[in-house]
Structure 1
Amino acid sequence: MNENKNTIERQPFFYDVTLRDGNQALPKPWNNAQKKDVYLQLLKLGVQGAEVGFPASSEMDFESCKELAQLTAKMAEEGDEVAKRIVVSGLARCVESDIQRCWEAVQYAPHPRIHTFLATSPLSMEHVLHMTPEQVKEKAVHCVKFAKSLVGDKGDVEFSAEHFGDCLENMDFVIDVLKAVVEAGATTINLPNTVERYRPFLYVNQIKQVYEALPKDVTISVHCHNDLGMATAATVESFFVGATQLEVALNGLGERCGNTNFYEVAVALHNSGVNTGLHMERIYETAILISQWSGISIYSRAPLIGAEAIVHRSGIHQDGASKTKDMKKGAYRPIDYSIIGRHQNDSLSFTSQSGRTAVYEIITKFGYKMSLAEAAQLQPILKACSEKEGELSAERVLDVFREHFVNVNGRLVFNNIEVIPDENRFIFHFKKDGESLVKSVTAEGPIEAALMLMREIGMPVELVKYRQLVVPEKDKMWAGRGLSRMLLKAGDVEVEGRGVSSDTLKANMRALFGGVNLLYKKV
């Protein structure tokens, strides 16, 4: 193995077990048409191998495996590159009739495989199989030879030492059995952690022992269940000690707590410099489809694919996410999510734990311009709302922004402006400190008139910058209306007044009056 910290030349062999291990664990297993949909999605992902079922388990499963093998052959003839190389496998107990039935189903595929298994752990041999170790070895060798006699040169044989993870105390025996089945014709040796009981290091060390003991032309495979939540870790680390075939399942489907999650392994290896050979941009799409087809919802905090996987709520995390949002490697995310076809990297939500960065990101995503200083002013207001209401939606944050930064009322309340064009005169109808006033000002234009009015009523301001825009489309309530932005200054303090109206003149006045209210707040 030529490996370095940047790239790994050895490529993993992704062997998907969704159609067998995943399907058998569903409350309502898929019918043949549904299994075909799943299989076609696996081809889109570019998997190198697929265990399509357990042909001897039922007539329906036999027909499904046969149909998928024939479909693969047809697609390969038509030029589909994935179909040309994919290994189509069926599972069989170490029973001749099972093995025969398996071959009858998968033989049509360009690369068929018989996968047979027998437990080798002391617990299973004594209490489940009621067989001696010698009998187990003899049966394993006999069945592998029989399988090899069926596949000949057209296909290959995989042997699984079921409950391998429980074989810590009899590894010498297990290795002896594995050497014997390799001699009998098995070219792939699968080492399942059928029930996850211990820390991954112990299992990974077992994998290393087998890898070092068997001929290097034998493919070492791992198949981990997720009983303690460490199946991904065990699978990934096994690759780095010699395992090449990684048995995984879409959405982590499988018995009890599921099988190793396909997507997590693929991304972990990708991040570690390993070329997975997969169409990884199909991952997110696949996860959604499998959830729909299986009827099993995706856990909201599921790595990579869960709704919460991209959400940041604490102020520190939101700040880091914002500062690295345009980088491939984010401060608080494992990947650029576009790699898996998920086209959003970071979602900032507002809670009482959030800071100004969340405010800034949420408002600017609606298309508004906002300074971090303004975000800092709005943050405690939103925090108070969140303490009462819980998590605030983006729309709720926008509502609060509008209330405090757009068409702002305070000491002044703008009502209307009349224009007398022939006299260059402007008549303002407004309130100051609750008193209704009407003031007439002569000036070259309405903004100049409004600035003169402010001096007259004792609230002078300087216009630093002015822009006339349109409310962004993402603000569904006000989209398309005129938006005026005025940067105003009084003394050493600058604020931005924002005004919105379908009438541009009124938008200007609301921006100016609003900015003055921000500068001259009630004492």
Structure 2
Amino acid sequence: MKPASLRKYRPFHEKFDIRLPDRQWPDRHIERAPIWCSVDLRDGNQALAIPMNVEEKLEYFQLLCDIGFKQIEIGFPSASDTEFRFFRRLVDEKLIPADVTVQCLVQAREHLIQRTFEALEGVPRSIVHLYNSTSPLQRKVTFGNASKEKIKAIAVDGAKLVRKLADQVTDGEILFQYSPESFSDTELDYAYDICKSVTEIWGPTKESPIILNLPATVEWATPNIHADMIEWCCRQLKKDGLRDKVQVSLHTHNDRGTGTAATELAILAGADRVEGTLFGNGERTGNLDLVNVALNLNSHGIATGLDFSNLDEIRMTYQRLTRMAVHERHPYAGELVFTAFSGSHQDAIKKGMDLIDSDSVEWAVPYLTIDPQDIGRNYEAIIRINSQSGKGGVAYVLDREHGLDLPKSMHPEVGGIVSRQADELGRELTIEEIRESFFNEFVNRNAPLSLLDHDECHVENANAEGILVHQRAKRGNEYGWTFSLSHAGEKSVVEGYGNGPINALAHALEKRGLKDFKVTDYRSHAITDGSAADAAAYVQIVREGDNRSVWGCGLDPSIELAGLKALVSAYNRLHH
């Protein structure tokens, strides 16, 4: 923004003096997952341009249950008939699993609380989530300069009515939750005073604790200040003998883009519970992304009770029901988050993946914090090729997608050719385009030289008894082969000798006057398992005189013929 605009803003710490010089959270580590509560069906739904209808919300509720959420805020039943009908549909059709507690939000207003308890009839176990705004800004703007005493009285009166109506319920268990909405910009001592007053009315015990939800309704401050606020409240609860009777809950928004960090630091500060939504859907810049935090914990080996092993399917269901998009760079779920275009990244990833495949148990691949397969992603998109890609990336794709394990010294030559094609096209290459580029340049090339046929040479020699027998032609330690060749349209049959067919073909080419090279490397492998598997062979030759080196590749069901084709391909590339 322009410098003149800065006069409208001042640091958050100047508004509220939060002092916690002996804070403990920086020295702690997250060792277990919090209690999770999804608010997709309430907070997330109200943020949609087109809110979900009842049928869509039913499907979304089932999705949340399948993921493993045990607490789900299913709506605001006093807000509208649609919300009320959805709530009752879940109850009347017995769609709430026995191990799932549903939560309903309600403002601290008498008629809304009454309507909420009507919706709760017959619910086996539920959380009534009471809230009212408490911040100075809300007191001034929303409530017309209402006093602190008046705002506190709203919370206290609401808590008393909830307690009274809960005592009258005989067909279900009612749990209590209170949120001082806009806690993030409320004076700490005042917010705590209200929370303590509500807590005393509800009378929690160790066996039946209440939930104090301390929402960062608007993310005003940096994550460390948020953590200080949570630790301060946890200390006050302990001082007042209430800490083991209260679950401290978080509800972070993402106005500064640091909702995940604020949540993780606040867990270190003592929070027991976390509210949020899938992929962070919510008002403004969104709520806390539960997928992000849960998979962050998984990446440190911490069990969460949530199952995101089919994250692609979850993402597609979410997008269909909410009509929202998940960004390509969204952590874990985005289309491109496991994708590398950079050549140096691709090379490091390929090396890491090779080691993981061979002998590693612990996940340790450069640039990849988790194994994509653990969340239902495949390896297809890890490396994608454009003009920025390098030798390792192209080799990785050819290996993973087409079973071609190129010799390392062949990588620069192949990578350079494929990258130049991407540069010429000005875009990313598809997997099939990479394959086509490699095949066109390196595989089974047959001009100007082509191998029409080959066979072992045999001769008839007399054995010890003087009987003629058919034997392999041999010269010293070298065996003979016959090659039917065509060079620039001229056909010939030439014999060659060598310790193998490749050397023998090189000898035959020398006899034809075509050998101006030496073979410097040869590799081969089976592409697939089984007797009918294709084989791949790679031959490197260096031209005598200018020392130019080239590789060729041969593919054939016969590994012997694959090697010969590789030599021919290399020759043709050298003389192209």
Deviation at 1:179, TM superposition (A): 0.7
Distance 2:436 2:118 in 1: 65
Contact 2:451 2:484 in 1 (8 A): no
Matching residue of 2:411: 375
Distance 1:252 1:105 in 2: 28
Matching residue of 1:400: 437
Contact 2:25 2:269 in 1 (8 A): no
Matching residue of 1:224: 252
Distance 1:183 1:393 in 2: 64
> Is structure 2 residue 298 aligned with structure 1 residue 286?
no
1:161 corresponds to which of 162, 180, 186: 180
Identity %: 26
Distance 1:32 1:93 in 2: 22
Deviation at 1:121, TM superposition (A): 0.2
2:199 corresponds to which of 182, 199, 202: 182
Matching residue of 2:568: 513
Distance 2:300 2:39 in 1: 24
Summarize the Cα distance change of 1:84–1:418 in structure 2 as closer, same or farther, 3 Å threshold. closer
Matching residue of 2:152: 137
Deviation at 1:20, TM superposition (A): 0.4
Equivalent positions of 1:59-458 (< 5 A) are 59-71=81-93, 83-130=97-144, 131-152=146-167, 154-167=173-186, 170-185=187-202, 187-214=210-237, 215-216=242-243, 217-272=245-300, 274-325=302-353, 326=356, 327-344=362-379, 347-365=382-400, 366-389=402-425, 390-408=427-445, 412-414=448-450, 416-417=452-453, 427-431=484-488, 436-442=489-495, 450-456=505-511, 457-458=513-514
Return the TM-score normalized by structure 1.
Answer: 0.85
Q: Which structure has the greater CA radius of gyration?
A: 2
Distance 1:2 1:166 in 2: 21
Q: Which runs of 5+ in 1 are unaligned?
A: 76-82, 474-479
Instruction: Provide, for residues 71-105 of structure 1, a one-character-per-residue CA deviation record: whole Å limited to 9, x for no partner.
Output: 5x566xxxxxxx33322111111111111222222
Q: What amino acid sits opposite 1:36 in the alignment?
A: L
Summarize the Cα distance change of 1:194–1:502 in structure 2 as closer, same or farther, 3 Å threshold. same
Distance 1:466 1:301 in 2: 39
Instruction: Report the RMSD for the aligned CA atoms in angstroms.
Output: 3.5
Contact 1:116 1:158 in 2 (8 A): yes
Distance 2:137 2:421 in 1: 58
Contact 1:455 1:461 in 2 (8 A): no
Summarize the Cα distance change of 1:14–1:468 in structure 2 as closer, same or farther, 3 Å threshold. closer
Distance 2:99 2:405 in 1: 53
Bigger CA drift: 363-372 or 107-116? 107-116
Contact 2:539 2:563 in 1 (8 A): no
Distance 1:138 1:357 in 2: 67
Contact 1:382 1:400 in 2 (8 A): yes
Q: What amino acid sits opposite 1:141 in the alignment?
A: V
Instruction: Provide, for residues 206-238 of structure 1, a one-character-per-residue CA deviation record: whole Å limited to 9, x for no partner.
Output: 122222212111111111111221111111211
Deviation at 1:318, TM superposition (A): 1.7
Deviation at 1:369, TM superposition (A): 2.1
Distance 2:268 2:456 in 1: 82
Q: What amino acid sits opposite 1:485 in the alignment?
A: A
Distance 2:526 2:31 in 1: 53
Return the TM-score normalized by structure 2.
Answer: 0.77
Deviation at 1:340, TM superposition (A): 3.0
Q: What amino acid sits opposite 2:122 in the alignment?
A: Y
Bigger CA drift: 504-513 or 197-206? 504-513
Q: Which runs of 5+ in 2 are unaligned?
A: 1-23, 205-209, 357-361, 460-480
Summarize the Cα distance change of 1:264–1:482 in structure 2 as closer, same or farther, 3 Å threshold. closer
